[in-house]
Each structure stands twice: as structure tokens, then as C-alpha cells.
Structure 1
Amino acid sequence: MKSTLTRPGTKVSPKLFLFNVLNGVAFAIVAGLIPNAILGELLKALAPHFKIAVVLHQITTAIQFSVPMLVGALVGHRFKFSPLGIAVVSASSFIGSGAAVFKNGAWVITGIGDLVNTMLAASIASLLILFFGERFGSLNLIILPTFVAVFTGFVTLVTLPYVKLVTAAIGTMINTFTEMQPVLMCMLIAIVYSMTIISPISTVATSMAIGIAGLAAGFASEGITAAEAVLAFGTWKVNRLGVPATIILGGVKMMLPNMVRYPIMLVPIVTTAAISGIIGSFIGVGGTKESAGFGIIGLVGPINAFRFLHIDDVWLKVLLVFIAFFVVPFTVAYIAHFVYMKIFKLYTKDIFKFLG
């Protein structure tokens, strides 16, 4: 049995290495969390009435537990590792995530673990595989799973408690700031997420990692929605219908090449995010760490915002959520394009021609 990994000492630039890890994490997070994010609330509501809804909800919840291994598999795929290399990175990521805990003489799956530590495990395992490559020939079948997975697992289990402390502290700090200065922080969080969604960094992974929740999670969704609205209007007349449609359905990162070449497009995005975040703070838009990174994709943001509004009138809640996620961001995005293109002439519509 021959397993081709890569040449010993294969060189990968730091930029490409980071991009491969982040890209792998982004796809793994979406694949693992989207099913429950989209169907979870609906299935919960149907569970008391239909037994099949209970089973389906259990399935969508269980899919989330695969995230650490999906991270490893997709990171390994980005590096073009062999099946053996992908398996080793997957195993390392699973152990490093801390998702499996030994309690009372049995292993227990506690969730998806810590995503930052999972990324660290995938990075260490990938570095070791890139270093060793085919150095040991057929012995790779024994050495790589034994050495790389065990060594990486040990190192990341040591770092896990400290990484958890840091990520939990960041999440607590952000959530506390939203309570102390809600208007200012809602605007800043919305701006940060509006720029992050168009970058190689996964907003879902970031949200899960730092444990953002409550108002902060709602503002994050507002920021992502603002970016989607700006890019949808921007790409509407200079691309085929598939481009804006894909953006609305979640393919915002496809515009990353355009943003790198024309960073001026961040101006309307930031403007829309800031205004949407401020209005969202007055409405009281909330969310969870699972919903914060999606925006209006799959209506994940609006559904969770609806749950967090403490208003008895159901139709009023629906109206406020609709205003926060559709009326405000899309109206502001349209006005921002008009002001920046027609009045200030900062850019033309051609910067939104899809470069991919």
C-alpha cells in the first residue's frame, strides 16, 4: 500500500498556510453547523407534535459533533494531503478540540470543543506532515498516525485549558461591553463582523470560539446582513443573477478578491453596518454564538432575534425583526451606494464585477 503525502520539507508561505487553515475551518463550520442552525428551531417547535421531528432534531444536533474532525479533514484537503495525512490531521483536531472528555470511566462527547484549540491542533499536525512528508517511506503508515496524532494531541490538551480561558475572557469582555455601552459596542461589533464576513476568517468559527451571545450576537448578525445587502446591490447590474443570489444565500466570501483589489468597497459596507447596528440596539436584537456568524443566511439571525425579543405581541416581534434585518440594512445599503457613487464619486459599479 503506497501513500503519497508530500515531499519532505515542503515549503508553504505563512500567508498560504494561514489561508488553508482558515478556509478549512470555514467550510467545516458551515457543513457542521448549518443543518441545526437552519432546522433546529423549526424541529424544536414540531417535536411535541411529530416523532420524526424529534429524530431529525437529534440528527442535526449530532452533526455538530463532527465539526472538529471536519476541520482536520478540510484543512488536510486544502494542503492536498493523502488520505493518510487527512486522517491524521482529523484525529489530531478531534483530540485537540477537547470535545471528548473522560468522565466516570467513560468517554463523553461534550459538544464541538474549543475551536481555537482545534485550529491549533490542525495547524501543528499539518506542519509536522509538511515537514516529514515521505521521509520514512512506507513506515509513514505507522509513524505518522502514532507520532503526529499522539504528539499533537498531547500538546493541544496541555494548551486547551489556557486557550479556553482566553477565549472565554474575550467573549465575556465583549458581552459585558454591550451591557455597559450598548450603542457604541453594537456599532463596533457590527462593523467588525461586516468586514470579517468578506475576509478569509470564518465569522461562525469566531463566534463559536469567543462565545459571543445575547445582544453582541445580534449585532454581529446585523453586521453580516449589512455586508450582504451592500454586495447584493453592488453586484446586481454588473454580474449575472447568480452572483447576487449566491451572496444572499451565504457566498459573501466569493467577493474577497474584489475587496483585496478595491478596498474602497468597505466604505459602504462599514457605513451600512454602523447604522444597522445602532438601530438594532434600539430594537434589542439578540442571538446566540451559533447564530451570530450567519446573518440572514437561512434566516438564522432573524429567527434567533425573534426568540430574544421580550415582547408579548407576536406580530410586533415579526415586524421589528423584519425592520432590523431587511428594511434597515437594505435601505441604508441602497442609499450608501447612491451617495458614495453618485455624489462623492468614490467608486464605480465596476468594482463589483466578480473576479473569481
Structure 2
Amino acid sequence: MQELRKYSVNDFWNKLMSAVAMAIVVSVTPSAIVGPLFQALANHGPFWATLNMVTNMAMYAVPVLCGALAAGQFGFSMIEKTSVALATLIGSGAVAYSAKDGTYTLIGMGDLINIILITAIAISVIFIIRPYVGSWSIIWDPIIGACAIGGFGVWTYPYVHMVTTTVGAFLNQVTKLQPLPMCTILGLSFAVIIATPLSTVGLAYAFGISGIAGGAASVGITACFFTVAYAVSKVNGKGLVVAMAFGSVKMMLANFLKHPQMLIPIAISGGIAGFIDSFVQMKNGAAYAGFGFPVGPINAFTYLSGSPLHNFLIVAGMYFILPIIVALLSYHLCKDVFHIVNEDDWYVNLNA
């Protein structure tokens, strides 16, 4: 218990959520980047069909990776890491048991909110029982992780999943009915959230933000990337500019904390991008809505109908041309007109 108390509440959850975000990114990246290619080639032979299958299979590793990575954040031993991973897999809802024929079926990645809940409980319990189990941890940790904590997750899953799906369905439905205000709000919100320690990937997936809502979130995130990339180009090297355009904006956390007004041009960019997207209505899946450029446009492309050239132009317009325009507009509006931000605010000291 004393070891657990070393971590503040914020530190505990920051470590946990960063692990969850990384687990999702690692799991969905194969299907996001090369998945559409293998899916298109799947009908051209068993070789491509197998590649398509294994690429999509990576997405189902989310519960196990969440547990293992989160436990690793706290310096757990191998037996403790795997015990936490057992608990998250069993309690995730990703595996369904059929009493009729005695089979287990992998039905998805599970409910992320329940995964986070069970992971937090498992880590806390491991800390609490560690002084008492000693060398018996190789026996007691897996039993407690699988049977007690995992079993508790099986019980909580239907209720937690009902809440998360209801929230997600509400957001998606409201966005369909009122795309203009909702796309604007989602674009603005996700543009700002990606610039904070919070995970847009985890948030989008947890609540099932998809379709038009998922597209608006992804476009807003991309607007944030390009706004930060343009701003840092004034005072940093080209390598950092490219890194920001490809999503490394969390490198700026120290800057944002010191100068919170820097989030204003980001919010403006995301809001404008979301507003314009309310007319174009790009779509994205829940697993990809929390991504910006380049993962977001790859998945958005698969939702479009029409000729490949037409679809490419739409995606390029929403994920490249539009973000550049709103980046220039919001940055110079805040810097030269309202004098909210300064060039030097965006300097990143890579040697610090």
C-alpha cells in the first residue's frame, strides 16, 4: 500500500492513460496504414487474404496491451504485468462465451472504459497484496488477476458498456441531425484535447465517436497539427516542423502549460475545420477518429464513394489544404491582430 501512495492521483492516471493511448495506437496502426491496401487485394489470392486477416487481427490486442503497458509504467515484474494483462483481457468484454456450445469468440476490442477501470483496479490490488504474497506471487497474482479482478470486469462490463454506447450513440446521432454546430464543437474540442495530456484516440474509441462525428474530430486534430507545425516553423528547425505535422504536438506540453493562450489559435483552427467539415461530412471509424494526419485521411478515404481521383481530391482538400489555410489564418489572427501569442512562445528547446 505504501508503494501505491507514492503516486499522486494525477500521476497514477497520467501513467495509466498514456499506456492505454499507446496500446491503442500500436494496435490500430497496422490496419490504419496498410489495412485498406490489403483489404483491396484480399480477393486476389490467399496470400493477400491472410495478410488482410492478420493486419486486422492486431486491433484485438488492445486489452492485453493496455494491461501490460500500464503495469510496465509502474515498474511491475513480469508475473505482475501478465497478471494485470489477464485481468484486462477477461474483463474487457472482448471475449464472449457461449454456454450452448462451450466456445469462446473474439468479438472486438472490448469496452475501453471498462478496460481502464479494470486496469486501475488490478494495478492497485497488486500494489496492496505485494507485501503479503512474497514469493507466492507466481501463484496468487494470476489467480487474483484472472478470477477476482477479471471476474469483476465481466460483471461490470454490461453496465459500463451500456453507458459508453449510449453516450457515443447520442453524440453520433446529434451530429447527424445537427452537423454544423456539432462538427464545429467536435473539431474545436479534439484540436485542443490532442494538445493536452489526454488521449483523443482513447476518448474517441471509448465513446464510439464515428461516422460524421469521427470525421469532424479527425479533421480538427489535423488542423491542430498543421497550426502547431506552422507556428514552430518560425523559430525551430524543419525536422521539428515535420514532426508536428505528423502528430508530435504533445512535445509542446511544457510550452502550452507555460503559455496556455497558445491553445487559442489551435481551438480556432479546429473549430473552423470542423465547421467546414459539417458541409463536406467526412467520416471516420471510432478506432481512427482520434487520429489526425496521416492515419485519419487513410481511413476516411475508405468511406467515400465515387472515383478514386475524386475521393483523393476530397481527402487532400480536407486533410491537407484546409488545415494549412486555417493554420495560417488562426496563427496570424492571434499573433498579428489580437497579439495573443508571440513567436518565441513556440520555441522548443530539444536539448533541455
Q: TM-score, normalised by structure 1?
A: 0.92
Q: Which residue of 1 aligns with 2:32?
A: 37
Letter in 2 for 1:325: Y
1:156 shift after superposition: 1.3
AA aligned to 1:141 is I
CA contact (8 A) 1:285 1:305 kept: yes
Aligned-partner Cα distance in 2 for 1:277–1:212: 14
2:88 maps to which of 93, 106, 117: 93
Q: Distance in 2 between matches of 1:313 and 1:149?
A: 50
Q: What residue is the counterpart of 1:351 in the other structure?
A: 345
1:144 aligns with 2:138: no
1:53-132 mapped onto 2 (5 Å cutoff): 53-103=48-98, 104-132=101-129
SS in 1 for 2:289: coil
2:316 match: 322
1:48 equivalent in structure 2: 43
Number of the residue aligned with 1:269: 266
The change in CA–CA distance for 1:145 and 1:54 in structure 2 (over 3 A counts) is same
Offset, 1:50: 4.7
**Following superposition of structure 1 onto structure 2, how do residues 219-238 of structure 1 map, counting pairs within 5 Å?**
219-238=216-235
Aligned counterparts, 1:235-254, within 5 A: 235-254=232-251
Q: Which one-letter code corresponds to 2:206 in the other structure?
A: A
Which whole-Å CA distance do the structure 2 matches of 1:56 and 1:66 have between them?
Answer: 17
| Whole-Å separation in 2 of the counterparts to 1:77 and 1:171 | 30
Q: Which residue of 2 aligns with 1:171?
A: 168
Q: Which letter maps to 2:256?
A: M
Superposed, 1:292-331 pairs within 5 Å as 292-297=289-294, 300-310=295-305, 312-331=306-325
- How many angstroms does 1:172 deviate by? 0.7
Q: How many Å separate the matches in 2 of 1:14 and 1:95? A: 25
What secondary structure, in the 3-state scheme, does the structure 1 residue paired with 2:44 have?
coil
The number of residue pairs the alignment matches comes to 348
2:32·2:298 contact (CA, 8 Å) conserved in 1? Answer: no
Distance 1:95 1:286, change over 3 A: same
- Correspondence 1:212 to 2:226: no
TM-score, with normalisation over the residues of structure 2? 0.93
Given that residues 86 and 145 in structure 2 are in contact (C-alpha distance below 8 angstroms), is that contact kept between their aligned partners in structure 1?
A: no
- Give the SS at the match of 1:108: strand
Cα distance between partner residues in 2 of 1:234 and 1:26? 26
Q: Which residue of 2 aligns with 1:3?
A: none
Contact 1:65 1:112 in 2 (8 A): yes
Whole-Å separation in 2 of the counterparts to 1:262 and 1:201: 18
Aligned-partner SS, 1:134: helix
Identity percentage of aligned residues: 35
In the alignment, structure 1 residue 290 sits paired with structure 2 residue 287: yes
Residues 41, 48 of structure 2: 8 Å contact kept: yes
* Long gaps (5+) in structure 1: 1-5
User: Structure 1 residues 327 and 145, CA, compared in 2 at 3 Å: closer, same or farther?
Assistant: same
What whole-Å deviation, never above 9, does each CA across 1:293-351 have from its counterpart, x for those lacking one? 11212xx32233333344x3543332222211111111111121112112221111222
Deviation at 1:130, TM superposition (A): 1.9
Which amino acid in 2 is paired with 1:119? I
Cα contact 1:228–1:252 (8 A) shared by 2: yes
- Residue identity in the other structure for 1:348: N
CA RMSD of aligned residues (A): 1.8
Q: 1:9 to 1:166 in 2, by over 3 A?
A: closer
Pick from 256, 259, 281 the counterpart of residue 259 of structure 1. 256
Is the contact between residue 187 and residue 273 of structure 1 (CA under 8 Å) also seen in structure 2? yes
Give the drift of 1:38: 1.0
SS in 2 for 1:135: helix
SS of the residue corresponding to residue 25 of structure 1 reads helix
Please tell me whether the aligned partners of residues 187 and 277 of structure 1 are also in contact (alpha carbons under 8 angstroms): yes
**Is 2:185 the counterpart of 1:188?**
yes
Which residue among 320, 330, 333 is the counterpart of 1:336?
330
Q: CA deviation at 1:155?
A: 1.5
